[in-house]
Structure 1
Amino acid sequence: MCDGFVRKYAWDIPGNDILSSPVQQPDYTSCCLQCQATYGCSAFTYSVSSQQCRSKTSMGSGGNSSVDTITGYNPNMCYGFIRKDAWDIPGNDILSSPVKQPDYASCCLQCQATYGCFAFTYSPSSHQCWPKTSMRSGGNSTGDTITGYNQNMCSGFVRKDGWNIPDNDILPSPIQQPDYASCCSQCQATSECVAFTYSPSSHECSMKTSMGSGENSTGDSITGYNPNICGGFVRKDAWNIPGNDILSSPVQQPDYASCCSICQATYGCGAFTYSPTSYGCFLKTSIGGAGHSTADTISGYNRECFGPLLGNTVYSAENLNKTRLISKGLLDD
């Protein structure tokens, strides 16, 4: 016997080994004790014939049938996921109905094996397991439900380590959050938040209206941003703006939001077009004749400058920036 571990006969867990080679143990219980004494061990496999004991960080992809091997796992732990008791995440379900799982760890395993799952909720009384795409609004307190979430991931946001976004803060001061995923969830629940920065050392979470005029490398901060949104710019899918290019050739950017950020950092840029297939980012002085339909291209334009000014007017850099200042109330018309 081994207190706190579930025993599964004729089952093996490939991979996720803590040690480079197995240790010899006389029986299942001794192997379990080895796991309990090993930091980060939440599961193990034991071979009765060879007496090999392998400590594991997790159950991984769930394992497979094996006549000679016995698996043991902690039903209340899941490597890489934060457990939050008496907490529920409404909505964001991947499946139309819950799946049945015997315990928290098995539900977590279901999430890890499900594409796009970054969080889950589990009910010990009903054994219902709900894989989720994200924490979104953060959830709420509930007596029967346990939540698990990946602290290092957030659905729909691009993560950039060692990177900071100065300024463009929504709040006058940062808020405290325990991890990157929680900071991202706070951003998703906050109106106009399309990016954020998080400091693992101070736990400070700063929500942003945009990626702004660029970013800078920093050791401690992690940046997350929505690659499909850019604060202050209107997005128009399947649309191209011909001409009015600032540069003689496009710059390469990984996504729409990054192209928008380059535009915001470039003097005289009030619009841009971006190709998701070629990653080409074309910076524009204006929207010109408003453009035309095209399958591959996404256009973005500054709503403050061009929202009321759609037409053929081409603005100089000076006039464009003057328009921006007027729209923000920083300059008299």
Structure 2
Amino acid sequence: MSRGLLLAVIAAISVFSAINLSDAAATCSAIEDNTDYAGNDIAQTTQASASNCCTDCGNTPGCKAFSWEAGTCYLKSQPSNKVSTPGSRAAIVNLPAATCSAILENTDLPGNDIGDPLQLPTVGLCCTFCANTNGCIAYVWVLRNTVGTCLLKSSKGTPSSYQGARAAYLDSSITPPPTPSPPPSGMCGVVERDVDYPFNDIISTQRSNYNDCCADCQATPGCSLYVWGTTDGGTCFLKSKKGDRVSSPGARTADLTVTGPITPLPNVQSAVYGTNPLPTIAYNYISAAQWIDQSIMTAVISQVERFEAANLANNFSHATGPFQVFALESVIDMNVYINVTSQGECATLTAAYGNNFFTYWPQHLYCLVHINSMASSLQMLTASGVAIVYPQNSDPAFVASTVANVATNADCVTACATKRNCAGVEYSSANRNCVLYQPRASTFPDVSAGWVYNPISNVDNAGVQYSQMTLAALPNTYIKESIPGVASLQACASSAKSKSYTLFAFNSATRVCVYYAPTPSPTKALSLVNTPLVAVVLSGTFGADVASGAMAASTAADCYKLCVPSLNLCFASVFDSASNTC
């Protein structure tokens, strides 16, 4: 399998034009302790203190920032990728001041980025860096998670509404285009009271009334919900996705609903990638669909294309690790793999790293793996209408509709399966609501939105090797011993090994470790999933409370090949040597 370079996407890669600051003695900003600007190194010098790095940076063409650690100055082409690093000290070179046009409030200038976003504390510094960067004629500055972020632009582009963003042009004589229209009135779901979903913030806006947060969310790319709090007279925290639900007195929360029809979409399809003896993965997909907004999809693809173009001549894909990039246009959790040759390979990459949702674009060989929060209420469907509980949730933006007064979970699944292009459901027995999920329709006909779940993963830790299956347990009939007060799954595995048990389970909520054994049988044997060719074999069998039914196979090896966990949640096969039944 040919693997592409892993990117934790969120922005374009480029190189700043060199500016020579050596004509005058350089001065720098106040030094920040425990701070580094990762990457973009252009030179190193040796200095006893961080303050001496400023002169070295000023004497180095193209240097605009530095980090100092353990006697070494790391001279940087740009102050980007700011991270906390104990012991490191960093500062920015004071560039010649500049004058820019009047600031356009709540305005973005999408696209046309020059290099990585810069971490600059003020909008004025953003103007200065634009003036000192060849090709820059505009900028956008925004405060993100208390950190000022500056995007330099090679073109004015077309302004659009973006709450909290501040845009301007390098030359004040340039007549700016009209201010963008105000955000549309929002369309949000039922407001949850006294509830917060921490983290995943995109940006915050000041609103005294929580009802005004919805329009801000709708006008912010990547926003799928808001949380309003009383901070500073009322603040909307606009978020890319839900995290864990926590109590927060006074807070107000609502999801942004889909404003346009998602359907019609093609029907759900199922496929299997790989054949024995290679690993086999079953997955599902909808063609001409994607798990990402079209505007964000376009921005991400543009940024990845820039990365490819900048690095095509340098074949470093096997010499470097994941490369992280950032952007203003979207704050999303996603890994992007390039040079992925098939939809099935994309599904395999998704499952290999414990994720469930992907968008694949064969024209560019891009595999976008979406990283969602852990959950256990979402059921995703196969083409035949079989519902499987997934350990991750789906973004509220992909709610297609909600059906009220649905009697049972089975009825909810049937309602989804009947549509043929419904991807998944969430059912609440408390209020009898059935939520149906679909990906977004794509303007690119060859793009597909897929979902995959391989419930079994291998662990090799502290001398104990085992396979684990999430969201699973065997009936109590097969329990041979139960041990309370066990600290962890690893401790449970070690204990099972010491007592010569092959099958075990651990409940993290109750901290109970149990050991299982199959029912003895002189002719039947279990083949537990291990590698494609080698099973873990146990004498015995399971009854109808575990077994799913007979299948056609003439040998134990052929029977074992039919057990594909991602297809049917199978974790073992049983073969009867007397009757040659599987």
Same fold (TM over 0.5): no
**Larger Rg belongs to:** 2
| TM-score, length-scaled by structure 2 | 0.22
* TM-score computed with the length of structure 1 as normaliser: 0.34
